[in-house]
Structure 1
């Protein structure tokens, strides 16, 4: 009985410590976001004098000025368009290619070839991208940015999709073949729906990479009307004076789609990232 009480007490102490550590970690992770939200409702004077407190009088005009005056609204639309087109193209290409490489004609060499792109830093692609797109007359065009984002993310997307496709039971393909279903039918009606967690993982990570990118956009886009959201927000920081309330309002606007995207596909992303972790 005494041993049982000791174990019970040890378990309770351990549980309290775990919850305390997790609570502190949650507060530490959320506080920067809360600080940005509060700062977006202040002016510079209040940010300097009352950095960590609640705003005395919420300045919702910062959001209106950022959306219209700083062209954040136009850049927001550009970013959404670029990300959605990139997601659509990348999802179709990687899911089809992964299906062929893992379930139809297995090729370890091609799988490794696609995965090698993960080791190439983005900085090494800047000069080749400029030269190639200059020859194709795609400099300062959103379509060029879509192509670059697709090429940059395709290796990691293939890596995720290959691991997920290999975990789908092959009996599904065999049963569909017996029923007279062709390769295209097996892919679109059976494999593609089952692969939704992997596709959601690829879509979420690609969306984050495209949405947060600044380097490639600065190199390929120069016209203000075609800039993405990250480029426009970076331009809000002046050389001598910066309206930090306006800047934080732009940050909040840019964070909302990312949070919404993750909350929408949270379960699918976790299932996709853990696919293939347990075999047998």
Structure 2
């Protein structure tokens, strides 16, 4: 059954609707994976009190909410992780890592540091910018950090020159901004080793998220599903953007009211706009539906 709803006010998400659309066994499991930007956050990148309260209510009811985001641990911590309890486990860096709330790496499929060092050198040569997550830190070229400060004000950015052994590290995700055609050629030369997605920032300028070959959000979701002892298809996945398409297809897909049309077409249900606390309303209705089914 597929319901497409485009207006929060016209189609309130109720427990009755939840029970009609989502199979009872999935409702009872109450395992949810949510995108960060514009799904968990509002459009202005803040998190509403209602969303925080609803996420905590899921845990109190015996369920689980995990982030499933392209962000590495440090930016995710700066943006949304503080609203989650200590027991939470998250799919980060576009599916390249599974990490605890406190930053412990449970699983990962990363890019070899030697290759990252080569790409970083190319970005500097070709006039691009870069940043990458490593553990609890996010590294940039200190003289070009303004790009990342613009989108993550207040995030502490470490200087890549402070990693003397970069070639020996494993890097979950590399972000290249101020992208140009020459850098795209370089990436194409490494297509057997890397996966990447072209994205648009808040000024509609291209940047690229780069992970190890074959890594998508579903890669990390599969590890979360294994940990929870259930198939990926029984994880409720909620997102809004093109980079959420795979996880919406793999899980029981839910689109935000502010989602791109392509995502709404694939989702089994479209809920409210993030600025209208669409995620919070959905989670609370889901909890009540579960209570009624118990």
Higher helix share: 1
Fold conserved between structures, TM > 0.5: no
Higher strand share: 2
TM range (shorter): under 0.3
Higher gyration radius (CA): 1
TM-score, scaled to structure 1: 0.28
TM-score, scaled to structure 2: 0.27
